[in-house]
Amino acid sequence: MAVLVTMTGLTGCAPFACPAIGWSNTLTVQLVGDTSAVDQVQLCTDAGCAPAADVDPSGPLGWITVESNDGDSWTFSVGMTSMEQVTVRTLAADGTVLSDTEATPEWVRVGGSAQCGGPSEATVAVQA
């Protein structure tokens, strides 16, 4: 009987193995106000702003890509990161910076598990 109890107790202590998978988190930027002058939206961190022509794809910002935009809403794939704070930069067609707005995304996991993580989504609203 003692052997059965010991074996049963040990099964609950076995390490949990997560599958070797990756995911991509999504950050949606909702522009509020007149967006007619906005040609591009970038996400900026201490490392710089992306997407941009001069960003090294293998560097710290290379994982930021625009998934879609409809003028008022820009959706970015940000790799497996969930940035605590980001600056949203809006640019005119000639590259003029229209605005820089700090935002704090509230990430919500939309897949995976608490033990292994999984894809998350967040939306921030900024004045255009």
The CATH code that applies to domain 22-127 is 2.60.40
46 near 39, Cβ under 8 Å? Answer: no
User: φ, ψ for residue 19 (rounded to 5)?
Assistant: -65, 150
User: φ, ψ for residue 119 (rounded to 5)?
Assistant: -65, 140
User: What pTM, to 2 d.p., does this model score?
Assistant: 0.82
Strands 73-77 and 26-32: antiparallel
83 near 124, Cβ under 8 Å? Answer: no
Q: Residues for the chain: how many in total?
A: 128
> pLDDT tens digits for 88-126?
999 999 999 999 999 999 999 999 888 888 899 999 999
State whether residue 7 is helix, strand or coil: helix
